[in-house]
Amino acid sequence: MEIELWPLDRPKPYSRNPRKNKRAIEKAAASIREFGFRQPIVVDGDGVIVVGHTRLEAAKQLSLEVVPVHQVSDLSEEQVRAYRIADNKTGEYAGWDPELLGEELRALKASDYDLMQTGFQLASSVSTPTPLRRRRQAEKRNHRSVQRSVMSGFSVSIDWRSATAPTSTSAGLHGASCVPAS
């Protein structure tokens, strides 16, 4: 795969991008600031973004001068269109192993690593747990954040509206928050 550095204004946003990513830009910018630009923006032969709209906006927010870009030339127009959708959609099928997530977060916390860098926001309190199914139903009705217990010392608060649509740059649940359990 060939990756080039392009000036920030050279990749062109796809005007029909169905993905709404404004809420993810700040998180993507924080990720790029902490870890560097690890996933290139992918563009078609005309320089139109196939995947990476959020990363481009994050780069603008960070006032970067150049961004890494991979230009695809071996996909048909239909494949490019399908890839735009698939890149965002496939992440929605991934889930979390609460025990392993708790272990990873505890290890980071034990080393005094800023858990905000994981994409989780620290919440100030933990609500009384209720069965997950009832909380999901309540969330769908009331559009409020719900909380789910993560084993051994953490509770994860998930905004189910955004958790079902993570960004392509995020391996985590967009809109989730994490606090030590009391």
Maximum mean pLDDT: which of 76-85, 151-160, 166-175: 76-85
- Total count of domains within the chain: 2
- Are 127 and 149 in the same domain? yes
Among 92, 116, 131, the domain boundary falls at: 92
- Are 145 and 158 in the same domain? yes
Burial class from Cβ neighbours inside 10 Å (0-12, 13-18, 19+) for residue 81 reads middle
- Are 11 and 72 in the same domain? yes
Q: What is the pLDDT of residues 120-132, one digit of tens each?
A: 655 433 333 344 5
For the segment 106-116, the average pLDDT, to the nearest whole number, is 87
- Are 106 and 121 in the same domain? yes
Give the sheet arrangement for strand 49-51, strand by strand. 4-7, 66-71, 41-43, 49-51
The full DSSP string for 8-52 is: TTSSBPPTT-----HHHHHHHHHHHHHH---S-EEE-TTSBEEE-
CATH label of the domain that carries residue 44 = 3.90.1530.10
- Are 153 and 135 in the same domain? yes
Burial class from Cβ neighbours inside 10 Å (0-12, 13-18, 19+) for residue 177 reads buried
152 vs 65, higher pLDDT: 65
Main-chain phi, psi angles of 180, to 5 degrees: -65, 135
For the segment 12-41, the average pLDDT, to the nearest whole number, is 91
Model pTM score: 0.63
- Are 82 and 137 in the same domain? no
Q: What is the pLDDT of residues 33-52, one digit of tens each?
A: 999 999 999 999 999 999 99
Among 76, 92, 108, the domain boundary falls at: 92
Report the chain's mean pLDDT, rounded to a whole number: 74
Q: Which pLDDT value is given to residue 23?
A: 86
Q: Which pLDDT value is given to residue 135?
A: 53
> Where in the sequence is the domain holding 119, given as residue range(s)?
95-180
